[in-house]
């Protein structure tokens, strides 16, 4: 079903105002929480997406979002996945569990890097405004330091592929892709009290089995003093996630754009060399027989032959192979034909598919945007439009939820979700 835009202009306006309202409500003064209660702090990639949505109505506030996020940056360049600006006890694990030495308090791992993409997006909309140029120029070295951190600490052997050391670092917390690597990860012995399942139906959240391993990894890294090389050497969980690597590639591309405005010649050269290396690295994750990108377990060295939404994200990162684009598009069409609303995070006919459980099946607006944008950049316009229409229909039927059931369209997880509203403003309802 396609939405007829011309017939419903006023509805679109109403939905856009509702999205603005959510972003205003979730504004805690210079930073946006993903949603009230369930996620009461500033999350890394959520904020980068929020800033793009906010830029559609308030450029100043959009810059403030990125600036407040970078208050959490460590001196080694790491941009943590959570910045705990305020003390709130509705979330576990809080700052005391992470034990990171930073003010404001933060977690100790990162998340998919989207801040260069976000800064470029805001800059585009600021249309040469001088204050925006100055704010982008001030952010540029910080984003560069983040990218240097990824290269140094998460790809110490210079392979062109970075590894995530925690499922949370991928942004797709309980993807079935992590099941194998988590099997080799011990469970924590600590008894802990999850707050998420008190707020959201447990069938929509990661299982206890996964949480025990999530916490084990946090405790292990804390015991290693958050020292990158020691973590890299000692962790049982180390994965070259195709999703994160693709997102990193796109962010690095956008960082190179920023470097042409605010950087030095040496930095531009360094970024160009790294882009070429990243492209090569990503291509090693392509399985020609399956026609799919798979993540790789860096502990065993083996590919993880499970196809998730992440396998389509190289479209967002940028592909130079028309054949791969065509094969990815064909597979995505197959997935979409199996559901009412795309794109599911797992193929509906795969054994791991679970239509309500977080990253094991449900549709996420940010994922649709990344895949849709990637398809449009590679000229697959009809499929890009189909994803955009599906996203809009979901928003109109269920509101701006955290994620959605691909078979029924039901809204799941946290309600009134910031990055979903932001994707509405920047893309689906634009």
Whether residue 211 contacts residue 194, with contact meaning beta carbons closer than 8 Å, is answered with yes
Separation of alpha carbons 380 and 385, rounded Å: 9
Q: How does strand 286-287 pair with strand 292-293? A: antiparallel
- Active-site hit among 27, 46, 396, 402: 402
Total residues at interface with ligand GLC (CB under 6 A): 7
Site track 323-362 with ligand GLC (rule: CB under 6 A), x = hit: ----------------------------------------
> Which parts of 99-118 interact with ligand GLC (CB under 6 A)?
none
C-beta of 31 vs 45, nearer to ligand GLC:
45
> Which parts of 355-414 interact with ligand GLC (CB under 6 A)?
none
Least Å distance, CB 404 to ligand GLC, is 14
Q: Which stretch binds ligand GLC (CB under 6 A): 38-46, 66-74, 242-250, 291-299?
A: 38-46
Q: Which stretch binds ligand GLC (CB under 6 A): 42-50, 55-63, 67-75, 305-313?
A: 42-50
Considering only 15, 31, 41, 43, the residue that binds ligand GLC (CB under 6 A) is 43
Q: Which stretch binds ligand GLC (CB under 6 A): 18-26, 37-45, 296-304, 326-334?
A: 37-45
Site track 44-83 with ligand GLC (rule: CB under 6 A), x = hit: -xx-------------------------------------
Q: Which stretch binds ligand GLC (CB under 6 A): 41-49, 117-125, 152-160, 239-247?
A: 41-49
Least Å distance, CB 304 to ligand GLC, is 18
Closest CA to 254 of 120, 372, 123: 120
Q: Which stretch binds ligand GLC (CB under 6 A): 39-47, 57-65, 234-242, 379-387?
A: 39-47
> Which parts of 298-317 interact with ligand GLC (CB under 6 A)?
none
C-beta of 118 vs 132, nearer to ligand GLC:
118
Separation of alpha carbons 95 and 105, rounded Å: 6
List the beta bridge partners of residue 27: 32
Least Å distance, CB 115 to ligand GLC, is 14
Closest CA to 207 of 174, 177, 179: 174
- Active-site hit among 27, 46, 173, 251: 173
Nearest to ligand GLC by Cβ — which residue? 34
Least Å distance, CB 99 to ligand GLC, is 20
C-beta of 42 vs 185, nearer to ligand GLC:
42
C-beta of 136 vs 422, nearer to ligand GLC:
422
Annotation says 402 is catalytic? yes
Considering only 15, 31, 39, 403, the residue that binds ligand GLC (CB under 6 A) is 39
Least Å distance, CB 58 to ligand GLC, is 21
Separation of alpha carbons 294 and 325, rounded Å: 15
> For 127, phi and psi rounded to 5 degrees?
50, 55
Annotation says 27 is catalytic? no
Least Å distance, CB 8 to ligand GLC, is 29
Least Å distance, CB 173 to ligand GLC, is 4
Least Å distance, CB 113 to ligand GLC, is 13
Q: How far is CA 140 from CA 46, 66, 256, 275, 404, in A?
A: 19, 11, 10, 17, 35
> Which parts of 164-193 interact with ligand GLC (CB under 6 A)?
171, 173
Separation of alpha carbons 298 and 304, rounded Å: 10
296: left (phi over 0), alpha (psi -120 to 50) or beta: beta
Q: Which stretch binds ligand GLC (CB under 6 A): 8-16, 43-51, 251-259, 307-315?
A: 43-51
Whether residue 151 contacts residue 232, with contact meaning beta carbons closer than 8 Å, is answered with no
> Does the protein bind ligand GLC through residue 34 (CB under 6 A)?
yes
List contacts with ligand GLC (CB under 6 A): 34, 39, 43, 45-46, 171, 173
Active site positions, annotated: 173, 402
């Amino acid at each position: 079903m396609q939405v007829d835009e011309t017939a419903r202009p006023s509805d679109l306006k109403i939905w856009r105002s509702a999205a603005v309202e959510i972003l205003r409500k979730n504004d805690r003064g210079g930073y946006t929480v993903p949603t009230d209660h369930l996620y009461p702090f500033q999350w890394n990639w959520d904020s980068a997406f929020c800033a793009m949505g906010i830029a559609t109505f308030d450029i100043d506030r959009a810059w403030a979002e990125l600036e407040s996020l970078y208050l959490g940056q460590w001196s080694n360049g790491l941009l943590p996945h959570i910045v705990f600006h305020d003390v709130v006890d509705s979330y576990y694990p809080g700052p005391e569990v992470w034990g990171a030495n930073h003010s404001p308090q933060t977690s100790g791992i990162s998340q998919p890097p989207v801040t260069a993409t976000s800064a470029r997006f805001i800059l585009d909309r600021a249309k040469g405004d001088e204050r925006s140029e100055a704010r982008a120029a001030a952010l540029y070295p910080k984003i560069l330091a983040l990218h240097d951190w990824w290269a140094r600490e998460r790809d110490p052997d210079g392979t062109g592929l970075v590894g995530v050391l925690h499922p949370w670092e991928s942004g797709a917390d309980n993807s079935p892709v992590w099941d194998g690597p988590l099997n080799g990860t011990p469970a924590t012995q600590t008894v802990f009290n999850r707050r998420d399942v008190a707020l959201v139906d447990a069938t929509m959240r990661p299982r206890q089995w996964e949480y025990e391993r999530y916490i084990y990894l946090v405790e292990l890294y804390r015991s290693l003093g958050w020292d990158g090389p020691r973590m890299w050497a000692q962790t049982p969980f180390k994965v070259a996630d195709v999703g994160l690597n693709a997102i990193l590639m796109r962010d690095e591309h956008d960082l190179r754009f920023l470097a042409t405005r605010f950087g030095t010649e040496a930095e531009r050269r360094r970024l160009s060399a790294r882009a070429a290396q990243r492209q090569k690295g990503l291509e090693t994750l392509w399985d020609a027989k399956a026609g799919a990108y798979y993540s790789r377990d860096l502990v065993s060295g083996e590919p993880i032959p499970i196809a998730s939404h992440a396998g389509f994200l190289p479209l967002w990162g940028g592909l130079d192979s028309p054949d791969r684009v065509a094969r990815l598009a064909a597979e995505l069409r197959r997935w979409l034909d199996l559901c009412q609303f795309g794109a599911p995070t797992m193929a509906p006919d795969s054994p791991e598919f679970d239509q309500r459980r977080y990253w094991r099946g449900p549709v996420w607006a940010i994922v649709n945007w990344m895949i849709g944008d990637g398809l449009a950049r590679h000229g697959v316009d009809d499929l890009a439009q189909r994803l955009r229409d599906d996203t809009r229909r979901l928003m109109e039927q269920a509101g701006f939820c955290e994620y959605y059931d691909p078979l029924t369209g039901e809204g799941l997880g946290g309600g009134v979700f910031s990055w979903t509203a932001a994707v509405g403003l920047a893309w689906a309802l634009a």
